[in-house]
Amino acid sequence: MPRTLTRRFVVVLTFALVVLLAAPIMAQDKTKLRMSTPASATDQRSVALEEIFGPAVADFAVYEPHYNSSLIAQGSELESIASGDLEMSIASAQELANFFPEFSIFATGYVHQDAEHQVRVFNDPLMDPFKKKVEDELGVKLLSVMYLGRRHVNLRQSKDELTVMKPADLSGVSLRMPGTDAWQFLGKALGANPTPMAFTEVYTALQTASVDGQDNPLPTVVDAKFYEVTKQIILTSHLVDLNYIAFSKAVWDKLTPEQQATVQKAADAAAESGRQKQLQKEEELVAFLREQGLEIYEPDLKAFREHVQAQYAGSDLAASWPEGVLEKINALGN
Ligand code: KDO
């Protein structure tokens, strides 16, 4: 081999070795952002975070998502962030209400009107004391609001077996709801018998008839394949559901102001993208679900709204809502 070629070969080889050895060191220098969620990898919130948030922060952080509650059980994510075992989650208002009961206002049936209303509420000064409390007392920053969708009642029984037009028709129906008090209250307020259960167990519970039904937005019914084991969807729209992008305050405080701005921008961009995709899916999926043989119909919405609102009025949950906040939320509506 000629001398110059050998020298060039050695130089190239050395450079490649340096790059190979430096890559893991550089990755180690980056902040690890473990995100745990019960959602699947194909859920639009997961997709938006992976496609938009992860790459946007890649210069200084490694985004590491864990789906299907594979890292942390549903409902324990906030505690894990607080104790330093997790950096991010897609947290629900119901989970926050476990720590701060006043968050139940954002988990109350028929309060948020639509996706845009959620964004207006989240960005309004009315949210500042809520966000501050979570930051100060739990060490969690709520970066942005993600749209999950309109929750509807989804049952195993066919419409012939059970037609649901008003809350009384759900009497005796065991409806799986997530495990916190705020969720269980909503299930009862709908007129059903709420059964607490983790999201990852719902498909099997429906398949084996250990519950009569579950409630979730249409994109989730499709993503989790609940349509394979249910026969009808009653379009109750009882909760325009949201999740917050929750971020460790301890990690946030270690970032430079520029990095913090990048994280914030990335979270907002991911939330906006996920929201648009989820809205589009909600529109499209009625046809898909009907093709799968599900019966989909609207009940007496006025009866449901009035019944649900009457259950909250005067409840312990409502007693925890700071004065005037419900009025402010309503004023931000259409
Ligand atoms: C659910 O358990 O029904 C729920 O929809 C609750 C939400 O807050 C959210 O956690 C969601 O599950 C998961 O992300 C799975 O979609």
Taking CA atoms, 213 is separated from 163, 174, 233, in Å, by 13, 7, 10
Atom number of ligand 1 nearest to Cα 223: 16
What pLDDT, on a 0 to 100 scale, did the predictor assign at position 1? 47
| CA dihedral sign of residues 171, 165, 214, 318 | negative
Q: Is the CB of 178 under 6 A from ligand 1?
A: yes
**38 CA distance to ligand 1 centroid (A)?**
7
What pLDDT, on a 0 to 100 scale, did the predictor assign at position 28? 64
Cβ contact 263:35 at 8 Å: no
Atom number of ligand 1 nearest to Cα 199: 2
Nearest residue to 211 via CA among 221, 219, 201? 201
- Phi/psi region, residue 210 (left: phi>0; alpha: psi -120 to 50; beta: rest), is alpha
What pLDDT, on a 0 to 100 scale, did the predictor assign at position 161? 98
* pLDDT tens by residue, the chain, 334 residues: 455 556 666 555 565 555 455 554 455 689 999 999 999 999 999 999 999 999 999 999 999 999 999 999 999 999 999 999 999 999 999 999 999 999 999 999 999 999 999 999 999 999 999 999 999 999 999 999 999 999 999 999 999 999 999 999 999 999 999 999 999 999 999 999 999 999 999 999 999 999 999 999 999 999 999 999 999 999 999 999 999 999 999 999 999 999 999 999 999 999 999 999 999 999 999 999 999 999 999 999 999 999 999 999 989 999 999 999 999 999 999 8
Q: Is the CB of 92 under 6 A from ligand 1?
A: yes
What pLDDT, on a 0 to 100 scale, did the predictor assign at position 9? 60
Atom number of ligand 1 nearest to Cα 177: 3
Atom number of ligand 1 nearest to Cα 243: 8
Q: Per the structure block, which two tokens stand in for 334?
A: 């259409």
Q: Is the CB of 37 under 6 A from ligand 1?
A: yes
Cβ contact 129:121 at 8 Å: no
**178 CA distance to ligand 1 centroid (A)?**
8
Q: Report the Cα–Cα distance between both ends of the chain, in Å, rounded.
A: 78
Nearest residue to 315 via CA among 104, 4, 173, 167? 104
**39 CA distance to ligand 1 centroid (A)?**
7
Taking CA atoms, 17 is separated from 3, 6, 24, 63, 150, in Å, by 21, 16, 12, 26, 53
What pLDDT, on a 0 to 100 scale, did the predictor assign at position 26? 55
What pLDDT, on a 0 to 100 scale, did the predictor assign at position 222? 98
Nearest residue to 313 via CA among 108, 72, 139? 108
pLDDT in tens, 158-182: 999 999 999 999 999 999 999 999 9
Q: Is the CB of 180 under 6 A from ligand 1?
A: no
What pLDDT, on a 0 to 100 scale, did the predictor assign at position 211? 98
Q: Is the CB of 213 under 6 A from ligand 1?
A: no
- Give the chain's mean pLDDT: 94
